[in-house]
A and B are shown apart, each in its own frame.
Chain A
Amino acid sequence: MIAPHSYLRAVFWPRLMSNRFAVAGGAVVLFMFIIAVTAPLLVPFSPNEINAWEVLNPPTLKHWFGTDDLGRDVLSRVIYGARISLLVGFIAAGIAVLIGTFVGLVAGFYGGWLDSILMRVVDIMFCFPAFFLILAVITFLRPSIWYIMIVIGLTGWMGVARMVRAETLSIREMDYIMAARCIGCSDKRIIFRHILPNAVSPALVAATLGIAGAILTESALSFLGIGVQPPTPSWGNILTSGKDYIEFAWWLSLFPGLAILITVLAYNLLGEGIRDALDPRVKL
């Protein structure tokens, strides 16, 4: 095994940087991150500032993205929406990857009945239309951003578990695991120190793609009125009013939708780029 740091510097990083799509995706991801963090400094208006004289105004120099049905500045609301989307994306994908990695490691390492049970649970979870499950659980519990993150995470870990398990199964048979066993390493140490670092690459890719998926799910939930509750702006709930005023106010639908599209696209490009860079079979 190559030491992780030199591997990153010598192989992974150059391969990732040579992929133009991945670099573009990474740049947008970084850009969105900066926007989310510095939102209060960037917004031209307060996102919840109501202005009865400027209701549903089309884009102008003063309001670049126009105003909504309460005269609020759409640009400011879209900028603040980035905070919600990224927060939900990161935490939901984080939960999914943590659970999935853990389940995959345990199932792959121990095998036997534990593996059978865990993999059946995966099969069962895969049977439910995830969106139905998420919709029901969140509505019953009460729509809140924390529940959304947790529930999206709890319904999205199965793919990661399968990938990490497959990886663990092959690593388990390697000589260095046998060596670790011989010198008396505990199971815990073998799993977390020897297998995890080598099985982590599918989880990394899944995390990046999972962020994109979670952003899409959150926006769909908010659009249906079950996600982030107004007046807190999220890209999905701005689109809800976009739907109500679609006949006279296209800007209310166009800009938040584009924000979702660009962000999700960026995470997907970055995720695929990381996957290709980690996969020695892919020639770049």
Chain B
Amino acid sequence: MANYLLKRILMLIPLMFGITLITFTVIHLAPGEPVEMQMAMNPKVGKEARERLRKFYGLDKPLAEQYFSWVGRLTRFDMGRSFSSDSRPVKDKIKERLPITLSLNIIALVLEFGLAIPIGILAATHRDTWLDKGITIFVFLGFAVPTFWLALLLMYFFGVKLNWLPISGLHTLGSENYGTLRYLWDLAKHLIMPITVASFGSLAGMSRYMRSSMLNVIGQDYITTARAKGLPERVVIYKHALRNALLPLITLFGFSIPALIGGSVIFESIYSIPGMGQLFYQSVMSRDYPVVMGILIIGALLTLIGNLIADVSYALADPRIRHGGAR
């Protein structure tokens, strides 16, 4: 296992290298120097600040040198300072936003798995019945609904029409003075719509995946054997089939992370949630290059970590991988 883990972690190095290379390229696609852009956007920045920025980014040096010094700073978690008027370190800006986005997405993930697994099992065990067909229709609708539109509709019905749920932010103004319970209830009410939107998109795909994985397992010989020796169907499905059907879902966990993080731009800006997605959107719009670079890197790193967790859990669950059969 230690061997596998080491190999897996070593594989991350070229990936990280590629990630920084692409991020660097994206930023340098922009016409004109980032510093010039910053000057145009914000006339208040003086000549002194301009020189400081030029020096910090080493913009007078060749591209390759710029890249390596940037990567060098990155390894020390130095991402520079934001271009916005507060000019705070990018690291601090991301640090205060990241937990919000992360916890929202983790709740959404748990919800997704919690719903997708039973939905997938139901569809697979009731194959070709009206239940399966109903679930299939729901899945296709789920694939096709634009998340921002769903967010708008929810906002209209539950926020505006029925006035049940707050439509923006995480807290009601003045909620700091609430008691603990009331404070949490207030937070929960603010979270219902964003989390619904965040998890809806992938729920469809995941339950579809669970269904086909379950069908695949049910078709195997050892399931027929289990049935033949007279085990009740409940035991066959939940004890023998389910465990094996869950395995491929672990891989899906790794895959769903970039989609979740990418989706956070949409629901965070619609519901005015002060998370990383909203920060990214604002930074892109105001061409705050250091923050954009920082978030691109962090987003990709989170995906790498997610994939690593997925692969390691897969190896823990499946001895064939751990002992280096496949791969």
Point out residues on A near B: beta carbons under 8 Å. 120-121, 123-133, 135-137, 139-142, 212, 216, 219-220, 223-224, 226, 239, 242-243, 246-247, 250, 253, 257, 260-262, 264-265, 268-269
> Which residues of A are found within 8 Å of B304, using beta-carbon distances?
127
The reply to whether A127 and B303 contact each other, CB–CB distance below 8 Å, is yes
| Residue in chain B with minimal CB distance to A128 | B300
In the complex, what distance in Å separates the CA atom of A224 from the CA atom of B148?
9
The reply to whether A139 and B29 contact each other, CB–CB distance below 8 Å, is no
The reply to whether B292 and A136 contact each other, CB–CB distance below 8 Å, is yes
The reply to whether B152 and A257 contact each other, CB–CB distance below 8 Å, is yes
| Residue in chain A with minimal CB distance to B263 | A131
A219-B303 contact in complex given A124-B19, A137-B29, A224-B269, C-beta closer than 8 Å: no
- Distance from A23 Cβ to chain B, minimum over Cβ atoms (Å): 15
The reply to whether B152 and A253 contact each other, CB–CB distance below 8 Å, is yes
A-B contact pairs, 7 of them (CB 8 A): A121-B18, A135-B281, A142-B31, A220-B148, A239-B148, A246-B156, A260-B144
The reply to whether B261 and A132 contact each other, CB–CB distance below 8 Å, is yes
In the complex, what distance in Å separates the CA atom of A137 from the CA atom of B22?
11
* Count of chain B residues near A, Cβ 8 A: 47
The reply to whether B281 and A224 contact each other, CB–CB distance below 8 Å, is yes
Known: A132-B299, A269-B140. 17 other contacts (CB 8 A): A127-B19, A128-B300, A128-B303, A133-B22, A135-B280, A135-B281, A136-B284, A140-B284, A247-B160, A257-B153, A261-B141, A261-B145, A264-B144, A265-B140, A265-B144, A268-B143, A268-B144
The reply to whether B15 and A127 contact each other, CB–CB distance below 8 Å, is yes
In the complex, what distance in Å separates the CA atom of A131 from the CA atom of B295?
12
Partner of B15, one of A120, A243, A260, A261: A120
The reply to whether B287 and A140 contact each other, CB–CB distance below 8 Å, is yes
Point out residues on B near A: beta carbons under 8 Å. 14-15, 18-19, 22, 26-27, 29-31, 140-141, 143-149, 152-153, 155-156, 160, 255, 258-259, 261-263, 265-266, 269-270, 280-281, 284-285, 287, 292, 295-296, 299-300, 303-304, 307
In the complex, what distance in Å separates the CA atom of A261 from the CA atom of B14?
39
By Cβ-Cβ distance, the 7 closest A-B pairs, closest first, are: A131-B262, A124-B18, A129-B262, A257-B149, A140-B30, A265-B144, A264-B144
In the complex, what distance in Å separates the CA atom of A184 from the CA atom of B144?
48
| Residue in chain A with minimal CB distance to B21 | A124
The reply to whether B26 and A140 contact each other, CB–CB distance below 8 Å, is yes
- Distance from A279 Cβ to chain B, minimum over Cβ atoms (Å): 12
> Which residues of A are found within 8 Å of B140, using beta-carbon distances?
265, 268-269
> Which residues of A are found within 8 Å of B29, using beta-carbon distances?
137, 140-141
> Which residues of A are found within 8 Å of B156, using beta-carbon distances?
246, 250, 253
Partner of A253, one of B27, B149, B280: B149
The reply to whether B258 and A128 contact each other, CB–CB distance below 8 Å, is yes
In the complex, what distance in Å separates the CA atom of A124 from the CA atom of B284?
22
The reply to whether B143 and A126 contact each other, CB–CB distance below 8 Å, is no
> Which residues of A are found within 8 Å of B145, using beta-carbon distances?
261
> Which residues of A are found within 8 Å of B284, using beta-carbon distances?
135-136, 139-140, 226
The reply to whether A219 and B18 contact each other, CB–CB distance below 8 Å, is no
The reply to whether B155 and A137 contact each other, CB–CB distance below 8 Å, is no
A216-B265 contact in complex given A127-B258, A140-B29, C-beta closer than 8 Å: no
